[in-house]
Amino acid sequence: MSEFELSATPPKSVRTRGSQRSIIRELLKLASKPDVISFAGGLPSPKSFPVEAIEKATDWVLEHHGAQALQYSSTEGEPALRKAIAERETELSAPVEADNIQIVSGSQQALDLIGSAYVDEGSVIAVENPTYLGALSAFKLQRPTFLTIPTDEYGLNPDKIGPEFRGIRFAYVIPTFQNPTGITLSEERRKKLAEKAREYDFWIIEDNPYGELWYDHQPPKPIRCYAPERTLTLGTFSKVLSPGFRLGYVVGPKTALDPLIVLKQAVDLHTSTFTQLISARCLDTGLMNAHMPAVRELYKTQCSCMLEALEKYFPQGTSWTKPDGGMFIWVTLPEYINTDEMMKEALDRKVAYVPGSAFYANEPELNKMRLSFVTVPPEKIDAGIKILAQLVKERIDAREAK
Amino acid sequence: MSEFELSATPPKSVRTRGSQRSIIRELLKLASKPDVISFAGGLPSPKSFPVEAIEKATDWVLEHHGAQALQYSSTEGEPALRKAIAERETELSAPVEADNIQIVSGSQQALDLIGSAYVDEGSVIAVENPTYLGALSAFKLQRPTFLTIPTDEYGLNPDKIGPEFRGIRFAYVIPTFQNPTGITLSEERRKKLAEKAREYDFWIIEDNPYGELWYDHQPPKPIRCYAPERTLTLGTFSKVLSPGFRLGYVVGPKTALDPLIVLKQAVDLHTSTFTQLISARCLDTGLMNAHMPAVRELYKTQCSCMLEALEKYFPQGTSWTKPDGGMFIWVTLPEYINTDEMMKEALDRKVAYVPGSAFYANEPELNKMRLSFVTVPPEKIDAGIKILAQLVKERIDAREAK
């Protein structure tokens, strides 16, 4: 196919000329080599997948609703799944009905649809600092202006939200086991954020992929509970059932879901009927409730293991978050250590992480890194953290030798 | 949830303020009532779904590759599926490798990604007249200017393509069993279109969802065979395996796929690993080849049945296409009959079709309608066409009485 390789492309749109491959996706390629200890991925542990239960659910769906499962569906989503999610969300947070649920092809699609529906070039949207890089990629397609919400060790600080938030399109936040920091916002701050949203009349986009991955106690209720009239909450099955299904949902006022439906019709018609019905069956048979304790226990153990290794190996002058759930630890190194630059050497020594710079909308902080502890076996967590600690020590020593 | 109902939305983007729900999707809702004979849908016949074979393939995938099938995947698509599609495309059309295949969440997503990657506001893109309304919805998100390619009873006429095509972003065409007309472009016209594309230096986006649904003989080769260096061809599993999988693909030069990958990372990360691996298994086990003859026979019979009914009931002054494959017949009524207006009465009499006006990028023709023959049982096809014929006759009689 040499002529293929030589050829060009149709004339590119301004959007495409500006966009680049996601750093995390490119890193994942290098990090996915079998000899690399990768703390880079946001992948859930495959040990957490209920393969047999999914096989049972699939067989049941094909036997009882085969023609429906393989046919086109509505853009809003399968009624059975919307109902099951509404019941679950009602139980876990605040009352909603099936009409308040929009099914999407993974919560990444929700981010894209929300950006497309509610952001124009130059629109101001607020994000935490740092925030999920996939959200930045999705929102950046619209070329907005980012306003960063000031944060401290307890997460975003609503007291610092002032009149500059009036008129913004929305504030995007991950209040529970945040990506990348692992920090959980207190109930008090959630309430205050809801008050500020009312005071300055802005909407909240609440991303909640990790809420069910708590270790010892449930996190505070979603922000949606405190400002239901101006919050869209994003949920996903990727962290609790299967990311391979590409199944997520948006919860919120029907009026605010309607523009997303119009766009979704144009961008992919609807989400897979097949995976929707299988997931509905998994919810209806109580699989999620039966399955989650084991996932929580697994992740808690993995997290403890990494925290112990950090404590054991990492030198003075470094610090890290201690999450109560989720998948990530956020490490702060001395200010003169650049984790972008350190990454190449880490990969040479067969360890991977995500450099902190990827998670900033505006000015990046360069001395941070995100570590995921969920997929690497305990003995390799220890070995990988030891190697990272060595890299850091070498840089501290070099600095002190000057 | 009364407070939800009363609430507004975040400030809407210009795109959302301009866009509307797809007519076809809204119609499908009315048309899907059980007492309506619907010729409106583009749904394949559920009789064509190989439910048992899919169940077997699913069990195999979960048993042999369970953890992989439920995990995140790469944006390009699962290697096993890309390889299987490349082999099939090589066999059916012209040689390609796995790297020339990009997996998408239904070919509707390919239309959206192509629009997003290659169209800016005001860019000129060429479409057939009439063309697939879902392509118009996807492309319209970018607010382009549409240039219509002149057509006659044999489809688009490449001889009419002149210098006004120079500098356009691309020409979007459905050369085989076109939607909505059912017309197939001859080999000669395909070659000439390829020549014109070279002469005026434009790309071709070739949508080929129906190519395998031929009745008596295979259609001419895809246009990609005649201009591989400047064609992206869209394929889908929706018409030959299951639309509920939401699985499609783009075939073409790697350089032109790259911008789509960058965008797909941001809009949904990747397509369902689960349905990709099941489909790869279906291809590898020869299911498609074993399964297609029965689907072709079914659709051919359904098509003949509708053509007979049209012949039997439709009055003088009407005409329709006689497709050699695919799912649609395109009916032309006397110029004074407006099928948009007739639709309400048709639904009152429990018959549905898609008004022709939905398929035009610019000035619509109002005396056309698209009829799908694939899902309605033969006796109902006869009854439904009889009712439509009556509606048409009433309008002709009213006109003649004046």
pLDDT at position A392 over 80: yes
pLDDT at position B73 over 60: yes
End-to-end Cα distance, chain B? 55
Which helix (DSSP H) or strand (DSSP E) does residue A206 occupy? strand A203-207
Question: Measured between CB atoms, does A35 come within 8 Å of chain B?
Answer: no
**Which chain B residues are Cβ-neighbours of A54 within 8 angstroms?**
62, 66, 70
What is the rounded distance in angstroms from the CA atom of residue B156 to the CA atom of residue B189? 8
Q: What integer pLDDT is reported at residue B19 of this predicted model?
A: 59
Higher pLDDT, B263 or B1: B263
**What percent of chain B clears pLDDT 90, i.e. is strictly above it?**
83
Name the band, by pLDDT with cuts 50, 70 and 90, for residue A390.
very high
Name the band, by pLDDT with cuts 50, 70 and 90, for residue B3.
very low
Name the band, by pLDDT with cuts 50, 70 and 90, for residue B18.
low
Contact A197, A230 (CB under 8 A): yes
Place domain B2-49+291-401 in its CATH homologous superfamily: Aspartate Aminotransferase, domain 1 (3.90.1150.10)
Name the residue in chain A with its Cα closest to that of B251. A4
Interface list for A 225-244 with B (CB within 8 A): 228-230, 238, 242-244
**What percent of chain A clears pLDDT 90, i.e. is strictly above it?**
83
Average pLDDT over residues B227-238: 95
Among B21, B73, B96, select the one facing A265 at the smallest CB separation: B21
pLDDT at position B2 over 70: no
pLDDT at position B277 over 60: yes
- CA of B187, closest CA in chain A: separation in Å? 22
Question: Measured between CB atoms, does A145 come within 8 Å of chain B?
Answer: no
Write the CATH number of the domain with boundaries A18-48+291-401. Answer: 3.90.1150.10
Helix H, strand E, coil C: the string for B253-281 is CHHHHHHHHHHHHHHHCCCCHHHHHHHHH
Complex-level ipTM: 0.92
Residue range(s) of every CATH 3.40.640.10 domain in chain B: 54-288
Name the residue in chain A with its Cα closest to that of B26. A74
Name the band, by pLDDT with cuts 50, 70 and 90, for residue A385.
very high
- CA of A244, closest CA in chain B: separation in Å? 4
What is the rounded distance in angstroms from the CA atom of residue B150 to the CA atom of residue B156? 6
What is the rounded distance in angstroms from the CA atom of residue A24 to the CA atom of residue A138? 14
Q: What integer pLDDT is reported at residue B33 of this predicted model?
A: 82
Strand bridging mode A101-104 / A248-251: antiparallel
- CA of A252, closest CA in chain B: separation in Å? 8
Higher pLDDT, B138 or A28: B138
Q: What integer pLDDT is reported at residue A23 of this predicted model?
A: 61
Average pLDDT over residues A41-60: 89
- CA of A395, closest CA in chain B: separation in Å? 34
Residue range(s) of every CATH 3.40.640.10 domain in chain A: 53-285
Residue range(s) of every CATH 3.90.1150.10 domain in chain A: 18-48+291-401
Interface list for A 197-226 with B (CB within 8 A): 202-203
Interface list for B 302-341 with A (CB within 8 A): none
What is the rounded distance in angstroms from the CA atom of residue B193 to the CA atom of residue B165? 12
Strand, coil or helix: what is B171? strand
pLDDT at position B5 over 70: no
Q: Torsion angle, CA of A393/A396/A400/A402, rounded to 10 degrees?
A: 110
Q: What integer pLDDT is reported at residue B239 of this predicted model?
A: 84
pLDDT at position A124 over 50: yes
Among A138, A243, A244, select the one facing B267 at the smallest CB separation: A138
Query: Each residue of B157-211: pLDDT tens digit?
Result: 999 999 999 989 999 999 999 999 999 999 999 999 999 999 999 999 999 999 9
Average pLDDT over residues B86-98: 92
Second-level CATH architecture of A53-285: 3-Layer(aba) Sandwich (3.40)
- CA of A376, closest CA in chain B: separation in Å? 15
Name the residue in chain B with its Cα closest to that of A170. B10
Query: Each residue of A256-299: pLDDT tens digit?
Result: 999 999 999 999 999 999 999 999 999 999 988 888 999 999 99
Angle at A342 between CA A336 and CA A343, to 5 degrees: 145
Q: What integer pLDDT is reported at residue B26 of this predicted model?
A: 67
Name the residue in chain A with its Cα closest to that of B14. A120
- CA of A297, closest CA in chain B: separation in Å? 19
**Which chain A residues are Cβ-neighbours of B227 within 8 angstroms?**
none
pLDDT at position A35 over 60: yes
User: Does A74 sit within 8 Å of B5, measured CB to CB?
Assistant: no
What is the rounded distance in angstroms from the CA atom of residue A354 to the CA atom of residue A23? 9
pLDDT at position A104 over 90: yes
Span of A238-242, A303-307, B327-331, B347-351 with lowest mean pLDDT: A238-242
Higher pLDDT, B32 or B333: B333
Second-level CATH architecture of B54-288: 3-Layer(aba) Sandwich (3.40)
Strand bridging mode B354-355 / B368-372: antiparallel
pLDDT at position A24 over 80: no
Strand, coil or helix: what is B369? strand
What is the rounded distance in angstroms from the CA atom of residue B129 to the CA atom of residue B145? 14
Angle between helices B273-284 and B287-313 (to 10 degrees): 90
Q: What integer pLDDT is reported at residue B16 of this predicted model?
A: 81
DSSP B189-257: HHHHHHHHHHHTT-EEEEE-SSTT-BSSSPPPPPGGGT-GGGEEEEEESTTTT-GGG--EEEES-HHHH
Name the band, by pLDDT with cuts 50, 70 and 90, for residue A1.
very low
Average pLDDT over residues A80-105: 95
| Total residues belonging to chain B | 402
Q: Alpha-carbon torsion B385, B391, B395, B398, what sign? A: positive
pLDDT at position A93 over 60: yes
Give strand ranges (E) for B140-192: 145-149, 151-152, 155-156, 170-173
- Per-residue CA distances from B170 to A4, A103, B143, B227 (Å): 17, 32, 15, 13
Tokens of A305: 């293991």
Query: Each residue of A298-346: pLDDT tens digit?
Result: 999 999 999 999 999 999 999 999 999 999 999 999 999 999 999 989 9
Q: What integer pLDDT is reported at residue B240 of this predicted model?
A: 82
| Nearby residues of A64 by Cβ (< 8 Å), 6 or more positions away | none
pLDDT at position A5 over 60: no
Q: What integer pLDDT is reported at residue A26 of this predicted model?
A: 67
Contact A359, A369 (CB under 8 A): no
Name the residue in chain B with its Cα closest to that of A43. B72
Question: Measured between CB atoms, does B150 come within 8 Å of chain A?
Answer: no
Name the band, by pLDDT with cuts 50, 70 and 90, for residue B27.
low
User: Does B229 sit within 8 Å of A46, measured CB to CB?
Assistant: no
DSSP state letter for A367? S
pLDDT at position B344 over 90: no
Helix H, strand E, coil C: the string for A85-135 is HHHHHHHHCCCCCHHHEEEECCHHHHHHHHHHHHCCCCCEEEEECCCCHHH
